[in-house]
């Protein structure tokens, strides 16, 4: 068993979250560079035509010819086995992005130093906070004009509601960027811009903060400023506290420039030391240790037809305990039966690779003949249990849909139900009416096109879609509430989800506040368990 323990202890499974263009792809690629998974990193981004068409990582893979899976990327660095989970951005943004965070043990938040905290970061961040997972902040693009670092920290604290602890500190920015000061070693790592996007591992120079040479090297004005900043930081910022970091209450903050490989390796080393290997996960029979001899996993994502050559579904599972070996028999809790996980694989953009073995912390994709739903548990051993469910996240775009040919009602209902089961869309019915009118909710608008395309191609069913002006949805905490009794809801749409939960659709935040004011005791939720 020593082998099992060692394998699991060296695993680190995390997601990188950022607003599009903050530098997530660049940072990921630089991690690979330091991990030796690639020898030279190129400018990742394709030119305008292909830019946002597919998930960023598939784009890396296509351009660089490296083995990046479309869902998870695994590489080794310094004795660690690292799994980075892709959180699709841009138009690919969907509920899957949120669900992926359920499979991660920690998160890296990339922030553009000139933009600060942006909209998409906030949404993803809230999910991390809800899960109390450790969050590490990389403030990127210091080689460009940047906001004041103290203001950036304030913004993270105020907007995201987490305390910050800078591990290093930038000296100047843009053309004046001189490097970062390490608050622990009290040394300065000097910055050198690298040519062609930092294809090679960067060489760095470390100098002590308090020498005359250093003053000369970085300039008197910036050196004075740095000394003032250090004094302020030492007096006012939170001290590093591993326990608070592990509880997701304090985020260690690093400054750098991913494009120039600057601060990337230092960040990776600190990050690996400050995060833990997979931790126990909660189930209905208590906590399950990752080191258990019994294999267990849960499904966090289901993807259909990723590749036209394989018209099937892939269920992505996060292994939570034990070891997986190809061909093993497992128990599918929700299905209530023993199954073999067939064709376990890691997905590559064009190819699939069979996985022979995998450990707690790893992600595998298995062929799904239509039996899995999001949140399902798979386990071995005599004791059967279920992992905590995955919440349903609030969609932000809504449309009313119906089939063009009324004779095809059956296919239509079957299609949307199956697609909803995969978690690509959510479906709602009008409160108090039958199935006649169906409202679809999605997190990213691209999902509407996907739905239309799939209903036509897979279910041979053409649909009409009318987008609705709602932007916010809330679950009503009291499931038994009679929604007809609610006051001030003339602009609000009352619906039910597939499980019969009552919900309200709002067209702005203002109406939410008004409805809450007018209905004393009403509790509205942004996630549904
Ligand atoms: P994303 O995955 O978060 O969407 O961001 P991505 O890494 O694709 O980076 C977005 C843009 O920011 C890219 O430029 C990338 O080269 C640039 N970038 C990333 N890190 C840094 C950095 O540390 N400094 C600077 N100056 N730029 C950085 P692009 O506009 O998409 O392409 P390009 O034409 O500039 O290469």
Confidence of residue 428 (pLDDT cuts 50, 70, 90): very high
The percent of residues in the chain predicted with pLDDT above 90, rounded, is 53
CB 494 within 8 A of CB 474: no
Q: Is 55 in the pocket of ligand 1 (CB under 6 A)?
A: no
* Nearest-angstrom CA–CA distance, 461 and 411: 7
Distance 90 CA to ligand 1 centre (A): 14
Residue nearest to atom 17 of ligand 1 (CA): 23
For residue 412, pLDDT over 60 is answered with: yes
Angle, CA of 501, 94 and 333, to the nearest 5°: 55
* Three-state secondary structure call for residue 490: coil
* Three-state secondary structure call for residue 409: helix
**238 contact partners, CB below 8 Å, separation of at least 6:** 163, 164, 165, 244, 250
Distance 209 CA to ligand 1 centre (A): 30
Q: Is 257 in the pocket of ligand 1 (CB under 6 A)?
A: yes
Residues 219-226 have a mean pLDDT of 94
CB 497 within 8 A of CB 527: no
pLDDT confidence of residue 199: 61
Q: Is 263 in the pocket of ligand 1 (CB under 6 A)?
A: no
Q: Is 259 in the pocket of ligand 1 (CB under 6 A)?
A: yes
- Helix, strand and coil content of the chain, in percent to the nearest 5, comes to 30, 30, 40
Partner residues linked to 467 by β-bridges: 399
Confidence of residue 219 (pLDDT cuts 50, 70, 90): very high
Q: Is 56 in the pocket of ligand 1 (CB under 6 A)?
A: yes
Angle, CA of 2, 297 and 477, to the nearest 5°: 135
Q: Tell me which DSSP letter residue 257 carries.
A: B
Atom number of ligand 1 nearest to Cα 262: 23
CB 128 within 8 A of CB 167: no
For residue 259, pLDDT over 60 is answered with: yes
Q: Is 24 in the pocket of ligand 1 (CB under 6 A)?
A: yes
For the chain, give the mean pLDDT.
85
Residue 418 has phi, psi (to 5 degrees) of -65, -40
pLDDT confidence of residue 108: 96
Q: Is 18 in the pocket of ligand 1 (CB under 6 A)?
A: yes
Q: Is 45 in the pocket of ligand 1 (CB under 6 A)?
A: yes
* Nearest-angstrom CA–CA distance, 287 and 282: 4
For residue 447, pLDDT over 50 is answered with: yes
Distance 347 CA to ligand 1 centre (A): 26
Distance 258 CA to ligand 1 centre (A): 8
pLDDT confidence of residue 355: 79
User: Probe ligand 1: pick from 15, 17, 21, max atoms within 8 Å of CB?
Assistant: 21
Where does 171-330 have alpha helices with state H? 212-218, 220-236, 242-246, 264-274
Atom number of ligand 1 nearest to Cα 56: 2
Residue 200 has phi, psi (to 5 degrees) of -110, 160
Quote the longest CA-to-CA distance of the chain: 84
Q: Is 120 in the pocket of ligand 1 (CB under 6 A)?
A: no
pTM of the complete model: 0.85
């Amino acid at each position: 068993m020593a082998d099992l323990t060692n394998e699991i202890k060296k695993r680190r499974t995390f997601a990188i979250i950022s607003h599009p263009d903050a530098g997530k792809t660049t940072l990921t690629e630089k991690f690979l560079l330091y991990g030796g998974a690639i020898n030279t990193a190129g400018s990742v981004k394709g030119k305008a035509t292909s830019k946002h068409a597919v998930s960023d990582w598939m784009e890396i893979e296509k351009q660089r010819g490296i083995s990046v899976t479309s869902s998870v990327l695994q590489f080794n660095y310094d004795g660690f086995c690292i799994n980075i989970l892709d959180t699709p951005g841009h138009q690919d943004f969907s509920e899957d992005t949120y669900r992926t965070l359920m499979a991660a043990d920690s998160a890296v938040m990339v922030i553009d130093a000139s933009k600060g905290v942006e909209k998409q970061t906030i949404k993803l961040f809230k999910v991390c906070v809800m899960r109390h997972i450790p969050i590490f902040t990389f403030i990127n693009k210091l080689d460009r004009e940047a906001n004041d670092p103290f203001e950036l920290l304030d913004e993270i604290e105020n907007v995201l509601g987490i305390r910050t602890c800078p591990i290093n500190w930038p000296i100047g920015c843009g053309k004046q960027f001189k490097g970062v000061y390490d608050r622990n070693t009290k040394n300065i790592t000097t910055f050198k811009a690298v040519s062609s996007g930092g294809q090679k591992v960067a060489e760095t120079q470390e100098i002590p903060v308090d020498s005359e040479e250093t003053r000369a090297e970085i300039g008197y004005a910036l050196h004075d400023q740095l000394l003032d900043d250090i004094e302020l930081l030492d007096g006012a910022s939170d001290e590093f506290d591993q326990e608070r970091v592990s509880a997701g209450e304090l985020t260690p903050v690093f400054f750098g420039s991913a494009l120039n490989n600057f601060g990337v390796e230092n960040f990776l080393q600190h990050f690996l030391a400050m995060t833990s290997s997979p931790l126990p996960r909660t189930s209905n029979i208590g906590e399950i240790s990752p080191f258990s001899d019994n294999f267990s996993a849960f499904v966090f994502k289901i993807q259909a037809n990723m590749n036209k050559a394989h018209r099937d579904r892939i269920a992505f599972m996060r292994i939570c305990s034990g070891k997986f070996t190809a061909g093993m028999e497992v128990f599918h809790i929700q299905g209530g039966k023993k199954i073999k996980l067939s064709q376990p694989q890691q997905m590559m953009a064009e190819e699939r690779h069979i996985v022979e073995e995998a450990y707690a912390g790893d992600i595998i994709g298995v062929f799904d003949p239509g039996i899995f739903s999001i949140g399902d548990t798979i386990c071995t051993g005599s004791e059967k249990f279920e992992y905590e469910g995955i919440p349903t996240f609030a969609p932000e775009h809504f449309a009313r849909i119906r089939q063009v040919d009324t004779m095809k009602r059956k296919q239509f209902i079957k299609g949307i139900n199956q697609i909803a089961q995969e978690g690509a869309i959510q479906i709602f019915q009008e409160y108090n009416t039958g199935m006649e009118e169906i409202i679809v909710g999605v997190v990213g608008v691209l999902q509407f096109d996907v739905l239309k395309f799939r209903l036509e191609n897979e279910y041979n069913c053409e649909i009409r879609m009318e987008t609705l002006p709602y932007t916010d949805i809330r679950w009503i905490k009291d499931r038994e509430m009679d929604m007809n009794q609610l006051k001030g809801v003339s602009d609000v749409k009352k619906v039910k989800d597939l499980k019969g939960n009552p919900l309200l659709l709002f067209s702005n935040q203002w109406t939410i506040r008004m409805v809450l004011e007018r209905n004393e005791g009403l509790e509205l939720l942004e996630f549904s368990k």
